Structure 1
Amino acid sequence: MSSYKSTTLIGEDTDLLILLLYHAKVKDCKDIYFRSDISTPYVYNIGVLKQLLSDRVCVDLLFTHAFTGCDTTSRIFGIGKKPCFQRNIKDDSVLRSCSTVICSPKNDKVAVENAGSRAMISLFGGNQSDSLESMRYSLLCKKVATAKTFVTPERLPPTASATKFHSLRTHYQIMVWMGTSEGMDPTEWGWDVHCERLVPIMMDKSPAPDILLQMIHCNCSAGCNTLRCSCRKHGMDFTSACGRCQDSNCDNMSQEPISDEEEQD
């Protein structure tokens, strides 16, 4: 319709705005507007927005919206759309390269998984030399050592396994939006069929080794030589997550303390 007259699309879904910004051909159509259907509506001129943002950013918006959570992909706990969008506006090199891979049709699963992992590490403030496993472990140890209450696991970066399936679903959703998903089987891109319905595959590995899930730490200042020490009480040796006893003689240590690098290995 917009090819021969000014057109307004009325709706509330963010997907509609993202799709208009990606698909609208500013030079080949009349004015297109997107209006929210509320008592005090917002009206967006798609042509003006697209010129302000640039075609590159409008493509990256598909990645930003899907990767940070849309109707078919999970929201990343603690990571909002606004910071990711602002980094795209500033042409962040890491997110830009990850977006290029995940938004490219006919890409293989390994490339998509690797790009998704890199993007997740970047969004959580890690270096590209880091891995999600090392980031989760380091952050868990820091939180356990300093926390006064239970450490909530959702505040850790997602596991590599969860990120893999999240990235596959993101790629598949973007291909649907771009109109290039023909021939793609969703069960090969992060989905499974249960009771004739598609359900997301969350992980194919445990979120952490069993010993780590049972981690107990202490903040003893008297040598850890009685059952008042929570580690000794539960039959566990000193760990790097323990607090004050690291700076004094610990009687619950089966071996000499090892460095952080050795412990990661």
Structure 2
Amino acid sequence: MRNVTNVFNSPESTKEEVCAAGEKFVIALYGRINVNSLDELRVIQYTRSIAKQPVAVAFELAILPPTSAACAENSLRTYNQVQQWRDNISLNPVNWGWKLAGGFLVPILTSQAPAPESLLRLISCGCKTGCGYRCECRCAGLTCSTMCGHCRGGSCMNKKIQDFHGSDDEDDPEEATL
């Protein structure tokens, strides 16, 4: 782990080195040194969790580690912060895991969709009213979308909430998380 921390402390580290070091660190936090990526670890964790759960229980997405793409963005932000603490203020945050939105710096959560598009198309609810706590989308940890039968992602209690700037970033893949 010392090599990982050295990457974050060095002002000469590249984005690729930072992302790789961050992923190694998170994999180690999950106690799985012998996997190649967080995405591989997610599959292992998912498979083990599903095997242990009764069929009627909704799967908790929060128990999975972050995706490699989400970890990469978080690692870039962490590196940027460490470099600021070390008085290396020459880094532009927009190049290190942040973006400008409405005049504010906001974190880039990920550079990839939360799941393959073909899988996301399979997840939609058949709620007739409201999309409350029994909503299939809500149980899967997702907001309703235009694919949902009744609500179309707009007339329910599980719709995408607009951000604090009043804009809806639904089409922005950087806002997608899982």
Distance 1:202 1:157, change over 3 A: same
Residue 111 of structure 2 is aligned with which of 170, 187, 204?
204
Separation (CA, whole Å) in 2 of partners of 1:111 and 1:151: 34
For 2:24, give the aligned amino acid.
Answer: R
Task: Identify the residue that residue 174 of structure 2 maps to in structure 1.
Answer: none
Correspondence 1:1-265 to 2 at 5 A? 95-148=1-54, 149-182=57-90, 184-210=91-117
Separation (CA, whole Å) in 1 of partners of 2:62 and 2:89: 32
Q: CA deviation at 1:130?
A: 2.8
Unaligned runs of 5+ in 1: 1-94, 216-265
User: Cα RMSD over matched residues?
Assistant: 1.7
Task: Identify the residue that residue 220 of structure 1 maps to in structure 2.
Answer: none
Q: CA deviation at 1:212?
A: 5.3
Distance 1:181 1:125, change over 3 A: same
Higher helix share: 1
Separation (CA, whole Å) in 2 of partners of 1:171 and 1:186: 10
Separation (CA, whole Å) in 1 of partners of 2:98 and 2:34: 28
Q: CA deviation at 1:207?
A: 2.3
Separation (CA, whole Å) in 2 of partners of 1:211 and 1:143: 22
Q: CA deviation at 1:210?
A: 4.5
Separation (CA, whole Å) in 2 of partners of 1:109 and 1:126: 23
Aligned length: 120
Helix, strand or coil: the match of 1:206? coil
Helix, strand or coil: the match of 1:179? coil
Give the TM-score normalised by the residue count of structure 2: 0.63
Unaligned runs of 5+ in 2: 124-178
- Assess if the C-alpha contact under 8 Å between 1:122 and 1:128 holds in 2: no
For 1:136, give the aligned amino acid.
Answer: R
Q: CA deviation at 1:97?
A: 1.2
For 1:108, give the aligned amino acid.
Answer: T
Separation (CA, whole Å) in 2 of partners of 1:172 and 1:121: 21
Deviating runs (4+, > 4 A) in structure 1?
210-215
Query: What are the Cα deviations for residues 198-246 of structure 1, in whole angstroms up to 9, with x where unaligned?
Result: 000001112223555659xxxxxxxxxxxxxxxxxxxxxxxxxxxxxxx
- Assess if the C-alpha contact under 8 Å between 2:80 and 2:93 holds in 1: yes
Query: In terms of Rg, which structure is larger?
Result: 1
Distance 1:129 1:155, change over 3 A: closer
Helix, strand or coil: the match of 2:106? strand
Q: CA deviation at 1:151?
A: 1.6
Query: What are the Cα deviations for residues 76-134 of structure 1, in whole angstroms up to 9, with x where unaligned?
Result: xxxxxxxxxxxxxxxxxxx2111111111121101101100111111111124431111
- Assess if the C-alpha contact under 8 Å between 2:35 and 2:41 holds in 1: no
Separation (CA, whole Å) in 2 of partners of 1:139 and 1:109: 27
Distance 1:99 1:185, change over 3 A: same
